[in-house]
Structures are given as structure tokens and as C-alpha cells.
Amino acid sequence: MTAVSSEQITYLTNLRHDLHRQPEISGEEAQTAARIVQELTDAGADHIWQNLGGFGVAAEFRGTKPGPTLLIRCELDGLPITEDSTLPYRSEVDGKGHLCGHDGHMCMAMGVALGLAKRPARGRVILLFQPAEETGFGAQAVIDDPRWPQLRPDYAFAYHNVPGRPLGEIGLRAGPANCASRGLQINLHGKSSHAAAPEDGVSPSAAMAHLMQHLPALSSGTISDADFGLSTLTHVRLGEPTFGIAPGEGELRVTLRSMTDKRMDSLIHDAQAIVKTIDAQLDVDVSWHDVFSTVVNDVEATNIARKAARTKGLSILEMDHPMRWSEDFGRFGLDGAHATMLFLGAGVTQPQLHNPDYDFPDALLPLGTGLFLAIIEQVLSANAG
């Protein structure tokens, strides 16, 4: 493996700006994937898989001798949020933006591809550009792809950048690292009536008021508590915006969040029990969306990342609690890999993820690339294992 040159960092920066201009949301990443395939081909990948679990792309860089498979994962998708910035490379797609930093994550993985011009001493590196992370479907869809056994890793690593933390700080935590979450959608169907005769209809208003009171009350503890649970009301709609119609239908959405999958199971059970108390005159449709399991960082993989960060002289934050936001990277650990999610400080004053004015800091590109390469060197060097 070789260090990435200043010219290559300029290339990665320009690539990120290109990707930033043309964001594609979950399930629609066709053009982003095509660009990544071209760049990986130019970087000399030994093999490329396309259309993994949707528009996913994976590239193999084979070592000179047999050994473990190490996977570096990044994400292809942007968000359905309008970017609010004056950047010369701001989004050119109405209503969509790379406002979570996945453009930067892709380019750090591409930096690894450049550094692998000199192959590892043993084993192989798989660079996975995963689709549909934002909806929670992408990782499992990749794992469910019939070609996944050709890629299945022994070790898996990924970054997420973290606004509000010092630029370049490496956050590490063995055990729960990202919360489990899932979206609960409840649609209530009754019977509309004239506003002058509401008794001749079946209004869901009382049921919705009941749900709005009791579902958020499922929250308990803080993020530092093992039984942490958070129920957040995110959307309510009742009837039509008129004065002449007593409502006959409504919709309510809640996001459940927990530190552990076991606690999530209890939140789901309790939420369903509340829904069952709704007036029997109403038809009730319940559906679940954006399902994320807890990301549980493997101790061995976390120790590998810690040692690599120390060799690079990076500041390390030993995290005492997980991130509240969710990630589907945990699926790779559940599939058997020694997996860990690293958290990369994006700057104390950096706008928050999913803010309309967020932008991934280009200064992280050489740092993130270098740390990934140090991890690979540690696991796949001739004297490793």
C-alpha cells in the first residue's frame, strides 16, 4: 500500500464536488454507481460487482498471498432535502442533497483504492459502495444478494462523520455504537360527515389524541442507560383542511429508538398494545418503515482501529455512550464479520447532519483515507495474524 499523494487528494476533492452536485436518493443511485464503477476501473480494481442489492458496487483488491477478507463500506445515497448554500458545487438536483456526507465517505473509500495500487501482502480488500443506507434497506439487500458469499468479509470497517466534534477526532466504542430505530405508521379510517352533524360519522380525532399522548410516553431513560427508549412523534394529519367536513381519516407517524435490539422489541410490543386500544369502529392499518438494528461494534475490530489511529497520531475519543442516530452497518456484524463503525469528527462549528447547509469537510479526505489504509496494513500485512 502507498500513501495518497497531494495530487490524488486534489482528484478526490474534485470527485467529491462532482458527486455533491448530482445527489441521488435511496434506491435511485444509478448514475452515482456508474461513476463509481468507472473510477474503480481506472484505479485498477481486480474485480468489480455491480447492482448489488439494488445499485450497490463492490471492488476487490487481491493481496499477493491468501488471507482474511477486509471490507471497507461507504454509502451511495443522498437525501430528499433541498440544499441551502452558495457553494460553487452545490446540488444541481431540486429537492435533493448530499447533506449527510456520503459523498465524502465515498471519496475516502476511493482514496483507499488509490492507496491499494500496491496490493496488501495477503488476503484481499473489498470496497463496498452500499445503496439505500438512509432508509435502512441497503445493507440487508446487499447481504441477501446471491453473490454476497463471494464478498463476505472477516473484518468490516466504516466511518461516519460527526458534526460538533473536533475536526479529525476519532470516536471509538466497543459494544452498542448506533441506536436501533424504526418508523411506526398508523393510518386510521372512519367515516366523514358534515361538520354540522359529526355524530353521523366516525371521526379518528379522539383516537389520534390518545395516540399522541401515549406513544411519546413510551420514552424512558437517557442515551447512557441500557434501557434507553425514545418515542418521537414526527407527523400527524387529520382529515382535510376545510371547515365543513368532520374528519373520516387520519395518519400518525412515530419513530422508536433504543440502545439495544431487545429494548426495541419491548418498545414495539408496548406501541402495538397502545394501538389495540383504539375505538373498534375505526379501521386501523399499521406499517413499519426504516428499520435499523443496533450497530454493535466488535471488540477486536475496535482495538484494531484504535491501534491504527494511534499509529497515525490521531486524537481519540473513547465514547461512553452510542450515537442516537441509526445506521444499517450493523447488519454486517450480524452476518458474522468483526465489524466496527468509527466516528470521524467533522468540526465543532460544522452544521448538523441533515441540515440544509451541511457540507462534508474536504480536510477529512486525506485523514480518513490514511486511517483506513493503516487499518488494512495492520490486518493484512505479512506478519499479521
Q: Is 76 left (phi over 0), alpha (psi -120 to 50) or beta?
A: alpha
pLDDT in tens, 23-54: 999 999 999 999 999 999 999 999 999 999 99
pLDDT in tens, 120-169: 999 999 999 999 999 999 999 999 999 999 999 999 999 999 999 999 99
- What does the mean pLDDT of the chain come to? 97
pTM of the predicted structure, to 2 decimals: 0.94
Provide the pLDDT for residue 385: 64
Provide the pLDDT for residue 116: 97
What mean pLDDT do residues 230-248 have? Answer: 97
What mean pLDDT do residues 96-116 have? Answer: 98
> What 3-state DSSP class applies to 5?
coil
Closest of 106, 129, 116, 121 to residue 44, by C-alpha: 116
Strands 316-318 and 56-62, by their bridges, are unpaired
Provide the pLDDT for residue 121: 94
* Residue 80, CA distances (Å) to 24, 286, 327 in order: 9, 24, 17
Domain 6-177+294-380 in this protein, CATH class: alpha beta
Name the DSSP letter for residue 36: H
pLDDT in tens, 143-153: 999 999 999 99
Provide the pLDDT for residue 3: 84
- In the predicted model, is pLDDT for residue 1 greater than 80? no
Closest of 128, 126, 147 to residue 138, by C-alpha: 128
**Structural domain spans, the chain:** 6-177+294-380, 180-292
pLDDT in tens, 172-221: 999 999 999 999 999 999 999 999 999 999 999 999 999 999 999 999 99
CATH pick for 180-292 out of 3.10.150.10, 3.30.360.10, 1.10.3720.10, 3.30.70.360? 3.30.70.360
What mean pLDDT do residues 107-118 have? Answer: 97
Decide: 173 and 318 in contact? Cβ < 8 Å.
Answer: yes
Cell triple for 375: 487499518
pLDDT in tens, 296-338: 999 999 999 999 999 999 999 999 999 999 999 999 999 999 9
Cα–Cα distance, 263 to 269 (Å, whole number):
10
Provide the pLDDT for residue 138: 97
Cα–Cα distance, 159 to 108 (Å, whole number):
9
